[in-house]
Amino acid sequence: MRPRFLSNGFYRGIKKYYQAATAYANEHIAKEAVRLGTQAKKVSDVLYVLAKTPNDESLSAKTLLDQIYRILPQPDLTAVADFMSKVELDKKKFLWKYYSTNKPAIRRNLRRLFFALEFEIDKTHPKLVNQVTLAKYEIQQHGEIKTIDEELIRPSDLAYFQNSEPENSSINPFLFECYLYRKIFQALDNDSYIKSNG
């Protein structure tokens, strides 16, 4: 018999954090669009500097760039260039930033339910079955997932889970844990069921 209280709690918990992450991402996308829109207005000032710069071969590139970056700092100049070329602001970046920011609460509220439930996932998804089993063992033994099957991650999502340090491009264990919870959430809507370990 399905442990309705525990399974509903796990389901609602994953859904709550996903909805909160989506709201966080939408809010930050809106703020970033406004900020870049304001910065984009400064492009006319940059063009004015270029147009008014005398055709003087002795004028160094550094001098010219210093003038431009005083108007529009280099990081903003790149962002504005993307914005003006209609590159879509990256909502997923903010979504996964929410999970990182709320790591203690997510661990505290979802892990206990994750351990308390046994997931009977359709056998046509053996990689997910194995990953769930390994995740439970490794989190209990090491405090985080050590063995990560990258084939479970959509190629378009992979970059969001890699550690930001250039010397360490491995998958962030906590973000993968959240990704795994979301995969279980999707499975609960489809072909899996769960029962209590107790």
pLDDT digits (tens, 9 = 90+) for 171-187: 999 999 999 998 887 87
Which run of H or E residues covers position 65?
helix 61-71
85-106 mean pLDDT = 83
For residue 81, what pLDDT band results from cuts at 50, 70 and 90? low
What does the pLDDT read at residue 19? 92
The closest of 157, 23, 158, 14 to 95, measured between CA atoms, is 23
User: Quick check: 175 and 152 in contact, CB under 8 A?
Assistant: no
Distances in Å between the Cα of 63 and the Cα atoms of 57, 69, 72, 105 are: 12, 10, 14, 50
**Residue carrying the six token digits 């910065």:** 39
Token pair in block for residue 153 = 């991650």
- Look at the pTM and tell me if it is higher than 0.75: no
61-79 mean pLDDT = 73
How far is it, in rounded angstroms, from Cα 180 to Cα 69?
A: 43
